[in-house]
Structure 1
Amino acid sequence: MITIDGSDGEGGGQVLRNSAALSLLTGEPFTIQNIRGGRAKPGMMRQHVTSLEAACAIGGAECSGLMVGSRELTFRPGRVIPGEYSFAVGTAGSTGLVLQAILVPLMMADAPSRIMIEGGTHAMAAPPFEFLQKTLLPVLERLGPTLSITLERHGFYPRGGGRIVVDIEPSALRTIQCTQRGAFLGGKAEVLLAGIPFDIADRELTAARKVLSEWPEEAFAPALLPADCGPGNALLLEASFEHVTEVVSGFGKLGVPAERLAKTAAKRMAGYLASQAFAGPYLQDQLLLPFAMAGGGAFTTVKLSQHSRTAMALIERFTGRGFRVSDTEDGAHQIEVC
């Protein structure tokens, strides 16, 4: 039984989700205390409960302490059983983060799976649908499995109500090298609007264009969604390279000017473009677990995040596999499974 302090490292829900995935993959039970101890409101929120419910469902696991507000939990895994599953967060909690707890175990299962998750698809502090579709899953497919994801309905904070469907054709994982992103193929800036004034899109696109001035004017465009999907607003910045696509997002919030939201997101994208790294800060920590389970491989990335450092330590505890981090000649960092 592995005992984990949920306040260590980044101290958030990632510790819980990664622990569940690792437990299903290794068969090692765990107890986690001080769940989300590094957050202003510690304990499990609805999306964390749904993540663990999903892990229990696909892995025949026994779990005590699984409730909203709980700060301690014990998880005993069974055998991963692929198939068709449906999970509903019931709030605008992230569908993508629920998927994080079960994706790699199902990628390594012995039969295909189809997963439907309802909740938030575009919300702060979580990867939007486009990041999963265009950034994460194409890289994971290079490891061996066949993956597809469909957005059936957008879900913004605070309403939620979004729906994604993920199809997984599993495979033994092979090691890959993701050290070069290749030539730049083009950029795109899109503003999603649902049930809010159109001028917000103009203001966000104008602010983003000032930072990303080398992108052509036609790369900046709004996308109007049905009003009943909202209210909601998301800015999605996409940079395509030969071997990877980076998606940076910003989400509308009361009290935050549209210009500030767009400028912040655009500067993050500009920072990635100025680097020579394959993985941005969010893809970075998502690749650690599948690369470790493949038993090797390497990728280049920007500065290591606290999320990644926390994930590395957790993966080593469950699997015994560590990571070697080194600087590259062009100022990026290389992460290698060792």
Structure 2
Amino acid sequence: MVIIIIIDGSYLEGGGQILRTSIALSSLLNKPVKIINIRKKRKNKGLAKQHLACIKAMKKLCNAEVEGLYLGSEEVTFIPSKLSPKDFTINIGSAGSVTLVIQTLLPLALGINKKFTVKIIGGTDVKYAPTVDYMKYITLKILENYGIKSELRLIRRGFYPEGGGEVIFTLFPSKIKMFDLVEHSGSREVFGIAYVQNLKEEIARRMRKRAVDLLNKYGFQPNIKVEVSKGISTGAGIFLSNDTIGSSYLGEKGLRAEIVAERATENLLKERKLALDRYMGDQIIPFLAFGKGKVGVSEITNHTKTNIWVVKHFLDVEFDIKEYKEGYIIEAL
């Protein structure tokens, strides 16, 4: 008899992350899963285009049988077979986040026997998801230091609502190392990119100038590039990184370039407590479950608590959370 793990998608933050982590671990561990009440706490309940793209990608990579694979579906049953890496293209068909598809693919590094490459078309810089630069310079860089090998190449940016961004993502067979990433390095260097697409270069230069002025004022050494591009969609934003901490902010109509830069900079400085910011704090949980060890995070969010809850359905692991300095230590036992 097939034992199916049941995951209630309405738990805590009740968003798409429950689905993504469940499908990723189901595929990696070859454990069937049924997710109910998908995105129950969202205005538009059920599967959106980005979630469909994640499931279709995983279905392809592990020859899964899937029930409930349609737009708006609130229940999905996913029965995986053996992982068989292959190259393919995913067109999300909207400005759905390409980085959230990558987030779903990443744990497979621990189960594949050869590399595979995916071209993903959609949104690279959209709200409520890591930007492509955060994914490349924070998530993937940290995971690479602990054994997870991948490559991410940005072909063109995609913004809401048209999307049309494109990335090439390659994942390699990997062995995870034990985590010991509690303290921030203390580095004062800040790397960044101020970018515009289909807009005047002056906007990117204004974002850069404001961020540089603020960072200099607080005793940092900024190195912020300006990027100007043409594409299907129009948008702007700035990404900043200080070693293992990252911050992105996207431009909006009516929001001055200087304000965008200020918000990104303030967020970076606010998160600079321990090794990981709150966004990486939830992304690292599945990998911490496999590698064991401990990490320091600025905050324990509902996303982090939710990811811990999902992971414990698939793996025999305990997480110990302790207050430490201005943040928290999460240890996987």
2-structure distance, mates of 1:182, 1:70: 44
Instruction: Please give the per-residue CA displacement for 1:293-337, whole angstroms capped at 9, x wherever unaligned.
Output: 23x121111111110000001101111212111122x32211111
1:332 to 312, 327, 333: 327
Which consecutive residues of structure 1, in runs of 5 or more, have no partner in the other structure? none
Question: Where does residue 276 of structure 2 map in the other structure?
Answer: 279
Residue number among 184, 187, 195 corresponding to 1:184 in the alignment? 187
Which of 201, 211, 218 pairs up with 1:214?
218
Tell me if 1:293 matches 2:290.
yes
Question: Mean Cα displacement is larger for which, 246-255 or 122-131?
Answer: 246-255
* 1:51–1:98 Cα contact (<8 Å) kept: yes
Q: Secondary structure at the residue paired with 1:184?
A: coil
Q: Which residue of 2 aligns with 1:317?
A: 313
Superimposed CA distance per residue, residues 257-283 of structure 1 (whole angstroms, 9 cap, x where no aligned partner): 44443333222111023x2x1011111
Which one-letter code corresponds to 1:225 in the other structure? S
Moved over 6 A (4+): none
Kindly tell me the number of residue pairs found equivalent between the two proteins: 329
In 1: Cα distance, 2:206 partner to 2:157 partner: 22
Q: How does 1:197-212 map to 2 (within 5 A)?
A: 197-205=200-208, 207-209=210-212, 211-212=214-215
**Rounded Cα–Cα distance in structure 2 between residues aligned with 1:119 and 1:104:** 21
Contact 1:191–1:236 under 8 Å retained in 2: yes
Q: Cα deviations across residues 68-124 of structure 1 (Å, max 9, x unaligned)?
A: 111111111111112212211111111110111121113431222222211111111
- Secondary structure of 1:149's partner? strand
TM-score (norm 2): 0.92
Q: Deviations over 1:13-63 (max 9, x none)?
A: 101100101111222212112211111211111011000101111111111
Structural mapping, 1:9-158, within 5 Å: 9-158=12-161
CA RMSD in angstroms comes to 2.0
Partner of residue 228 from structure 2, selected from 224, 227, 230: 224
Aligned CA distance change for structure 1 residues 154 and 215 (closer, same or farther; 3 Å): farther
Unmatched runs of 5 consecutive residues or more in structure 2: none
TM superposition shift of 1:197: 3.7
Seen in structure 2, the aligned counterparts of structure 1 residues 85 and 107 have a Cα distance that, compared at 3 Å, is farther
